[in-house]
Amino acid sequence: MPEEYVVSGTLLYGDDFEAREGYLVIRDGKIREVGFDRTQGSIQGIVCPAFINAHTHLGDSVAKDLPYMPLAELVAPPDGLKHRILRETPPETIASGMASALADMAATGTCHCIDFRENGVAGVRLLRDVAGNRATIMGRLAGADSVAEVLQAADGLGLSGANDMPRDLLLSLGASARKAGKLLGIHAGELNATDIPGAMEISPDFIVHMTHATAADIRKTADLGIPVVVCPRSNALTGVGLPPLREMVEAGVQLALGTDNVMLNGPDMFREMEWVSKAFLHNDAYTFRMATLNGARLMGCGGSRGSILPGKDADLIVLRQGSDNLKFSRNLLGTIVRRARPDDIGYTIIGGRIWQNSSRKS
């Protein structure tokens, strides 16, 4: 990788993703300079911030596309099918599956994910060894591990749901995460609305799903300033219903986008964005923000990730301007959100490191 290089073309610039002709100077993994003169970079194309997948379960990559079954039978701890498979699968196989999922995410334009990692400290360490700094790892208790040990190893706690544990344990876990200065995330409202009040009681940094959130739940979430990660393709596949995205956006809830369990969905944010914009929001700019900047803000790093600005991390997708799929666009951001595909990617840049898409000529 060169010490310094220039990327040029049409930039989706700034936090509003304004399409502007220009260039970026990349050095030491950062965007060191942004200019709007016509400059020939060594890499050229349509330059976008790379995606941040705000909710994954990479561990179940070893069990893709199981038969359709009710959600509780599939994933409920401790004995849902997923958890039985994870217990029975050797750690080295799980690590290999997670590595494959991370490679797939890089190939489809994702630079970072927020992962809910099972199996306590051992599970956190297994993903850390595979992902390095490409994953924010939300651990959970398992076996004899203490919450202090999990929090020391992980970036935060990713709880399965308020109804899955006694209230005193729920409150204790929330307090421990806060005391440690770590992130706190929790599933809520996926199967029904009964676990939403308990989730809000611990004041998490974010809630995942809110598929069955009522109008009152949405108002309270907005009032408390709790962001929500939605995974609509996963909700559709498991048959639990579809989340009230438009209502949450209109209420002022900050939404981020995730693909959920790899065993259910490929971690392709293009597919997730297309469905969200077409079926739910009819708002390309907000949908793109859900897949980029809002995920960064969820982790508290919106100042360093999620958009193209000087000083931010060089996490970028460079789409091929010659792609037949992207030609003749009247609305570039809309075209990217509604129809772009992984094969339109010429280069993915993560922390300044360059991957060229070998599937198509760039």
Which pLDDT tens digit goes with each residue over 269-297? 999 999 999 999 999 999 999 999 999 99
What domains are defined for the chain?
Answer: 4-50+306-356 (2.30.40.10), 51-298 (3.20.20.140)
Q: Which residues of the chain have pLDDT under 70?
A: 1, 359-362
pLDDT the model gives residue 359: 53
Give the bridge partners for 112, in sequence order. Answer: 52
pLDDT the model gives residue 123: 98
User: pTM for the whole thing?
Assistant: 0.96
pLDDT the model gives residue 199: 99
Answer whether the bond into residue 78 is a cis peptide, omega within 30°. Answer: yes
CA distances for 77 relative to 22, 73, 135, 300, angstroms:
50, 9, 23, 29
pLDDT the model gives residue 1: 61
pLDDT the model gives residue 362: 36
pLDDT the model gives residue 223: 98
